[in-house]
């Protein structure tokens, strides 16, 4: 999707983020290569990226690893019905598991959604059961929605 100017990003910020999003150079001085492409100094690139990082606009500059290739072979999406007054507590519990990568409150009767990735089926079931019991959610109020086919994962934004 296309990002319009949001007041927080000027054109050079957006060109820079675009460049670093579309192909980050794995070289000894990656920011110098990006600077050269954009026709600015390496110092300016570093200053801008550090500012965007401090403001929280940049989450990280780094890799997205292929879960299966780093030994995480079992994963699922879980939906639960969590009573509103216990939402915060359950969220806190779930956040503590490093197997959990995404967790959102959504507006549906199944109002609590999270994704889990584990080394194998046994570990995955163990985490799910621990969370369900720890959160005191009835088995009937949980959906285990295993993926059967992946058609697309591509979270990229058009900035310029």
Partner 1 sequence: MAMDNLDMKILLAVQDGIPIVREPFSTIAKQLGLKPEEVVKRLQRLREEKVIRKFEVFIRKRKVGITANAMVVWMVPSNRTQEVGEFFAGFKEVTHCYERRTVPDKWRYNLYTVIHGFKRKTVKEVVKRLSDASQVEDYLILFSVKEFVRRSSGRVRPEDLRTPRTNGRLLSGT
Chain residues 1-30 in contact with partner 1, contact rule CB under 8 A: 1, 3-4, 6, 8-9, 17, 20-24, 26-30
Tell me which of 105, 123, 125, 132 binds partner 1, using CB under 8 A: 105
Question: Which of 88, 157, 81, 143 is closest to 115 using CA atoms?
Answer: 143
Tell me which of 61, 122, 133, 160 binds partner 1, using CB under 8 A: 61
* Contact call for residues 30 and 24 (beta carbons, < 8 A): yes
Is 143 strand, coil or helix? strand
CA gap 130, 143 in Å, rounded: 15
126 touches partner 1 by CB under 8 A: no
Choose between 30 and 134: whose C-beta lies nearer to partner 1.
30
* Contact call for residues 35 and 42 (beta carbons, < 8 A): yes
Q: Count of residues binding partner 1 (CB under 8 A)?
A: 80
Tell me which of 12, 38, 40, 58 binds partner 1, using CB under 8 A: 58
């Amino acid at each position: 999707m296309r990002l319009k100017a949001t007041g927080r990003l000027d054109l050079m910020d957006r060109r820079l983020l675009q460049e670093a999003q579309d192909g980050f150079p794995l070289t000894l001085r990656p920011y110098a290569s990006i600077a050269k492409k954009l026709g600015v100094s390496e110092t300016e690139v570093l200053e801008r990226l550090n500012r965007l990082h401090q403001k929280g606009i940049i989450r990280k500059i780094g890799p997205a690893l292929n879960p299966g290739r780093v030994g995480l072979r079992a994963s699922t999406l879980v939906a639960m019905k969590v009573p509103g007054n216990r939402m915060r507590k359950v969220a806190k519990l779930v956040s503590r598991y490093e197997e959990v990568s995404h967790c959102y409150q959504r507006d549906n009767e199944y109002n609590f959604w999270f994704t889990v990735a584990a080394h194998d089926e046994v570990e995955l079931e163990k985490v799910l059961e621990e969370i369900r019991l720890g959160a005191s959610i009835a088995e009937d109020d949980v959906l285990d929605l295993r993926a059967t086919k992946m058609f697309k994962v591509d979270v990229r934004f058009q900035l310029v």
